[in-house]
Structure 1
């Protein structure tokens, strides 16, 4: 697998406070990499620095060789690093299908006026986007919910729809901020399956923050462990399980 994302010596300082200190790692195509650590470890700052919501004070963020550090969130998303948030952001009055289609908007030629005026190229593009949205929902076992209002879905279902919408434009890298928080065991299992499908079937490189450590152990290929803005461990699941400092600090046993 080739490297999609390379984070090198990334640092972030706020008014003299070091929030990230010399953090480096890579994310490969089709890989699920988890970031764990206690509150205040720097996990969210790391996501913000990668996705453009915080400007790094040092280091580089390379997407397939392109340096993204310091660019706007919109520009970074256009380059192919997409992100979900804990609170979501669906349009509650729109259907599930319509929400997913908003994720395809940038790829769909023609304006809303073109569609209203019946211009053929715009209508054909709209039909193609609708078919693609259905295909994505089928991949995530959500096509039966296509015509439901997003606002009527459960929290777990809304989170799944948000992920489907986020990957509609085929981004190479997806950042998931606590995708399983608050989910029932059944919904959590479904979320894990979706993450595996995105990595395994679509080749998306997935970076996720998650506090449920056993969930992380069941889905991640590699794990980055952080504390006080620094990387304290980085490795495969077996390597992290056997790291005594990690076991004592985060997993609750030695």
Structure 2
């Protein structure tokens, strides 16, 4: 099966700082790959480079064989690489439901003018999007908060809503930056269930950064380890547990 995402020889420099050094990875349809490493390892810089928020100094980011490395974040998202952020990206003045609907806007038939004027095709599409958004919120046990302002939610609740909004558009590649931050154990399990269903049932390739090692070991197909901006190890969870380079990176000794 051909890869969805191919990152090859990615380098990022910031005014003399070599933030990424020749990083490569592949992501297949339906695969969950975790990226782990100590603070400052370059994990978020890698996500920023893949999603267009940082321009690589060299290297390629190919989605289904097409290099998207130097496109804008919006263009990369339109191609099908969607992501979440460590600090969230919700619209605090909008309700939970309205925030999820912003992730579905591109799938809505008709323009905003069509909706305002009550044209049937646009209204039917809008109803379908609202139903889908409510179904996703229900799956994450958040439907009862659909009309709550996002700014009034706890940090963990906001994280769940952001993930729901991101997966709502059914992207082929999903980048999740620390999705478990601020979540209760139950919410973590619910979130991982969503991730596994996206990968297993819809063939979404999922790349995630996560510091909750037990979550990574239980949920990832493969794990890539970074340190000092470099790819130092990759393998199954069982292989990573025994890797001497990983022990060195995390503990200072093998």
Instruction: Determine the structure 2 residue equivalent to 1:149.
Output: 149
Instruction: Determine the structure 1 residue equivalent to 2:215.
Output: 215
The DSSP-based 3-state class of the residue aligned with 1:225 is strand
Asked if the contact 2:227/2:249 (under 8 Å) is kept, the reply is: no
**Aligned-partner Cα distance in 1 for 2:142–2:117:** 32
Instruction: Determine the structure 2 residue equivalent to 1:118.
Output: 118
**Aligned-partner Cα distance in 1 for 2:16–2:154:** 42
**Aligned-partner Cα distance in 1 for 2:78–2:171:** 9
Normalised to the residue count of structure 2, the TM-score between the two structures is 0.92
Change (3 A) 1:143 1:253: farther
Unaligned runs of 5+ in 2: none
1:167 CA displacement: 1.5
Instruction: Determine the structure 2 residue equivalent to 1:26.
Output: 26
**Aligned-partner Cα distance in 2 for 1:220–1:106:** 30
Change (3 A) 1:109 1:33: same
1:141 CA displacement: 4.1
Instruction: Determine the structure 2 residue equivalent to 1:184.
Output: 184
Instruction: Determine the structure 1 residue equivalent to 2:100.
Output: 100
Asked if the contact 2:159/2:181 (under 8 Å) is kept, the reply is: no
The DSSP-based 3-state class of the residue aligned with 1:3 is coil
Aligned residues: 254
Asked if the contact 2:12/2:21 (under 8 Å) is kept, the reply is: yes
My pick for the range that moved more, 118-127 or 38-47, is 118-127
Asked if the contact 1:37/1:225 (under 8 Å) is kept, the reply is: yes
Asked if the contact 2:159/2:182 (under 8 Å) is kept, the reply is: no
The DSSP-based 3-state class of the residue aligned with 2:25 is strand
Change (3 A) 1:252 1:220: farther
Normalised to the residue count of structure 1, the TM-score between the two structures is 0.92
